[in-house]
Amino acid sequence: MELLENRIRKDGIVKAGNVLKVDSFLNHQIDIELLNEIGKEFKRIFGNEGITKILTVEASGIAIAAIVAQYFNVPVVFAKKSQSINLDGSVYQTKIESFTHKRVYDVIVSKKYLSPDDRILVVDDFLANGCAADGLIDIIKESGATLVGVGIIIEKGFQDGGKRLRERGVRVESLAIVDSMNDETGEITFRH
């Protein structure tokens, strides 16, 4: 998606340790107009799949999911980071390791909001090692719902999450795939 790649080139900041900061338009300050263009693009890609729900994980996926959901006329469900294991059986739960924060979160989704009839599109801002997507896919499987695909804004193509998910047969559609980036020059190379 050219508009997105141009925006990442213009406003993304490459930091040491393969960190790409997009705080100014995607996950701290959020450019809602850009998200609407992203919503239209996901609608173009997944529009004929009978999607019934958009699933993401807090916090940075939520704005994306909310705007994207408008193009599908469906609700959003976001997985919550949990302080403690829930023992009452009313939730699906899994563990997600954050690349950015170097820690493991328990995340939960209430059983009330995913059902075997649901056809789910997972959306998130980044795909790096794929742990967040893995966790959400685990939850979808446990619920009996159908995973239609995973819509990602920025995939780090030099980490193995996307490759691994695609090899498992998951449809992953990333609007920008970064093949390499250089924190000294700031240069970012996209896959086409």
Note the residues at the interface with a second copy (CB under 8 A).
23-25, 28-33, 35-36, 58-59, 62-63, 65-67, 69-70, 73-78, 80-81, 83, 101, 109-110, 112-113
Nearer to a second copy, 31 or 142 (CB): 31
Rounded Cα distance between 132 and 170, Å, is 14
Nearer to a second copy, 112 or 192 (CB): 112
Q: In which residue are the tokens 């700031």 written?
A: 186
CA distances from 55 to 33, 42, 189, 192 (A): 21, 14, 29, 27
End-to-end CA distance of the chain: 10
3-state secondary structure at position 50: coil
CA distances from 105 to 46, 79, 121 (A): 29, 11, 22
Q: How far is the CB of 50 from a second copy (least distance, A)?
A: 17
Q: How far is the CB of 111 from a second copy (least distance, A)?
A: 11
- For the stretch 32-36, contacts whose Cβ atoms lie closer than 8 Å and that sit 24 or more positions apart, written own/partner, are 32/63, 32/67, 34/3, 34/4, 34/7, 35/63, 35/64, 35/67, 35/68, 36/67
Q: How far is the CB of 161 from a second copy (least distance, A)?
A: 23
Nearer to a second copy, 21 or 164 (CB): 21
Q: How far is the CB of 99 from a second copy (least distance, A)?
A: 15
Nearer to a second copy, 20 or 35 (CB): 35
Q: Could you say which DSSP state residue 112 is in?
A: G
Q: How far is the CB of 92 from a second copy (least distance, A)?
A: 12
Nearer to a second copy, 29 or 182 (CB): 29
